[in-house]
Amino acid sequence: MKYIPEIQRRKTFAIISHPDAGKTTLTEKFLLFGGAIQTAGAVKSNKIKKHATSDFMEIERQRGISVATSVMTFEYRDHLINLLDTPGHKDFAEDTFRTLTAVDSVVLVVDSVNGVEEQTRRLMEVIAMRKTPVIVYINKMDRDGKNRFDLLEEIEKELPIRLHPMTVPINSGKDFKGVYDLSKKRLVLFSPGSKAEDVLEISDLHTDALDRAIGEKDAAVLREDVELLEGVYGQLNVNDYLSGDIAPVFYGSAINNFGVKEMLDTFIDIAPTPRPRETTSRLVKPEEEKFSGFIFKIHANLDPKHRDRIAFLRVCSGKFSRNKYYRHVRLEKDVRFTNPYSFMARQKDVIEEAYPGDVVGLFDTGNFKIGDTLTEGESFYFTGIPSFSPEIFKEVSNKDPMKTKQLEKGLNQLTDEGVAQLFTQFGGNKKIIGCVGELQFEVIQYRLLQEYGASVQMNALPFYKACWITSKDPKKLLDFTRFKQANIAEDKDGHLVYLAQSEWFLQTERTNNPDIEFHFTSEIHK
């Protein structure tokens, strides 16, 4: 129980959204409030060509999208915040899904102009399944977008969540004047480009001060809105939020730093501290004395000057200490870390210790895979870390035979990160990459060239799905792999995989081969 003060200081959350909803901009504003950065990097004027702190891969800077989950730690109001900025692009949803296993709550950014979009739906399904607490930030209120109440209705209709407005917007687009904070009973006025918000304490909405501040017409609409919302929603029940049933909603404009502080302050007040986690053998509680944690992400070449590989560890219980030996459950061996890191995006600081909720970067020489567990001796795995069956396949052709070694190393390291899987044709040496989205191939091709000097061509293959195959009868498995050789490959760990050309072929093989089991994730080999 001695770690409770440290545990209660910590809040670990992810920011998620559809691409271009303003997620990275919001991340940056949080860092500004926490004093972690001094200037906003999202300013894209001709004079200032800086980029968002969390978009650190060259391809992200060129494309203006986040393709890797970024981890940032900062302090705010005596709390230690671990913020995970996730890729918004659907082709990198797997990375985001895994990141959601490492956080205790989520901030969902919705674009007021476009409303709920496809990627938001997919992410919210995963969040609802896990009952993760959510706060919604409706962004870009200074743009002409959807009606404030239509937006609430759309979000509730499209996503598996009930909403609870915490602020009420006054107009939108060029007429946007600010918000009224329902819980703190105050008016927060909007002025674009202003560093500080103009706040008026107005507990009685029928005062003349409201008419003077926003004009009689808007004051009359606001009084009606507040009466309606308070009648429908009442006070926020924090327990309903913590159980994932109700999502508090804030309106603002992240680029103008508006409405961010109200949300961040509420987040600090109500967001959960590190929570218990399920394992294959028992429920692990954060306040337990013994350390445990799991790897949810691996990133090669975080620092291009040093060919390093960093495994991201979420601490789940006890205290993690530098230079102490821990049990690597899958490899059944003890490992220790001389230089564990905390992160400010690309910047790394060596730490002596970490507590539940913290995300630690571990220098990795190839020992780790996503989902690996570290403990102080106990053998279990943390559950619910998704692996996936790829849906798009391409053969990798080496354009420069002199760089074969570099290509081999690059393919192994980049596919360890978990956004793509590497297969080798059975009995041959054809390298096949399997991904969920097309953009991942572009990123891998680009990184192979930039980080490893290996130039490749990627040729599409006519496969529909990859299935891991096992059988209780070794002879039946051998016969199947021999007859279906053109469709058989091995994954990086030497496990057999069947590459099906279509759903019909897959169903036919499953019917014709009852002794062969077809698996859609690689979890079976844990």
Nearest to 296 by CA among 99, 440, 525, 87: 99
Per-residue pLDDT at 441 exceeds 60: yes
| pLDDT class of 474 with cuts at 50, 70, 90 | very high
Q: What is the pLDDT of residues 289-341, one digit of tens each?
A: 999 999 988 876 555 555 567 888 999 999 999 999 999 999 999 999 998 88
| φ, ψ (nearest 5 deg) of residue 434 | -115, 130
pLDDT of residue 36: 60
* Residue labelled with tokens 């004093």: 35
* Residue labelled with tokens 């074969």: 404
pLDDT of residue 428: 76
In the CATH scheme, what is the code of domain 4-170+233-270? 3.40.50.300
Q: What is the mean pLDDT of residues 8-36?
A: 85
CATH of 392-525, one of 3.30.930.10, 3.30.70.3280, 3.30.1540.10, 3.10.105.10: 3.30.70.3280
pLDDT of residue 525: 47
Cβ neighbour number for residue 384 with a 10 Å cutoff: 15
Which of 56-60, 326-330, 414-418, 515-519 tops mean pLDDT?
A: 326-330
Phi and psi based region of residue 91 (left: phi greater than 0; alpha: psi -120 to 50; beta: remaining): alpha
197 DSSP assignment: -
Whether the CB-CB separation of 127 and 106 falls below 8 Å is answered with yes
Intrachain domains 277-375 and 392-525 with the same fold? no
Q: What is the mean pLDDT of residues 463-482?
A: 92
Per-residue pLDDT at 453 exceeds 80: yes
Phi and psi based region of residue 487 (left: phi greater than 0; alpha: psi -120 to 50; beta: remaining): alpha
What does the domain layout of the chain look like in residue ranges? 4-170+233-270, 277-375, 392-525
Burial, 328: exposed, middle or buried (Cβ in 10 Å; 0-12, 13-18, 19+)? middle
Cβ neighbour number for residue 504 with a 10 Å cutoff: 10
pLDDT of residue 122: 75
| pLDDT class of 173 with cuts at 50, 70, 90 | very high
Query: Mind spelling out the 3-state secondary structure of 274-343?
Result: CCCEEECCCEECCCCCCCEEEEEEEEECCCCCCCCEEEEEEEEECCEECCCCEEECCCCEEECCCCCEEE
Q: What is the mean pLDDT of residues 83-92?
A: 62
pLDDT of residue 450: 84
pLDDT of residue 387: 61
CA distances in angstroms from 92 to 71, 382, 397, listed in the order given: 16, 22, 23
At 188, the amino acid letter reads V
Which of 94-108, 260-274, 296-310, 395-409 tops mean pLDDT?
A: 260-274
pLDDT of residue 68: 42
| pLDDT class of 51 with cuts at 50, 70, 90 | very low
Whether the CB-CB separation of 183 and 236 falls below 8 Å is answered with yes
Burial, 352: exposed, middle or buried (Cβ in 10 Å; 0-12, 13-18, 19+)? exposed
pLDDT of residue 66: 37
pLDDT of residue 305: 55
* Residue labelled with tokens 């053969």: 395
Q: Please, what CATH class does the domain formed by 277-375 belong to?
A: alpha beta
What pTM, to 2 d.p., does this model score? 0.76
At 129, the amino acid letter reads M
Q: How far apart are CA 347 and CA 344, in angstroms?
A: 5
Per-residue pLDDT at 452 exceeds 90: no
Q: What is the mean pLDDT of residues 52-61?
A: 45
Which of 93-107, 385-399, 502-516 tops mean pLDDT?
A: 502-516
Which ranges in 131-215 belong to alpha helices (H)?
Answer: 148-158, 208-214
Q: Burial code of 174-201, b = ≥16 C-beta within 10 A, e = fewer?
A: eebbbbbbbeeebbbbbeeeeeebeebe
Check residues 419 and 157 and name the one with the higher pLDDT. 157
Whether the CB-CB separation of 313 and 360 falls below 8 Å is answered with yes
pLDDT of residue 171: 93
| φ, ψ (nearest 5 deg) of residue 315 | -80, 130
pLDDT of residue 94: 64
Whether the CB-CB separation of 143 and 169 falls below 8 Å is answered with no
Q: How far apart are CA 135 and CA 437, in angstroms?
A: 28
Which ranges in 429-473 belong to alpha helices (H)?
Answer: 438-452
Lowest mean pLDDT segment, chosen from 47-51, 91-95, 292-296: 47-51
Q: What is the mean pLDDT of residues 267-290?
A: 95
Check residues 70 and 518 and name the one with the higher pLDDT. 518
To the nearest whole number, what is the mean pLDDT of the chain?
Answer: 84
SS3 content of the chain, % helix, strand, coil (to 5): 30, 30, 40
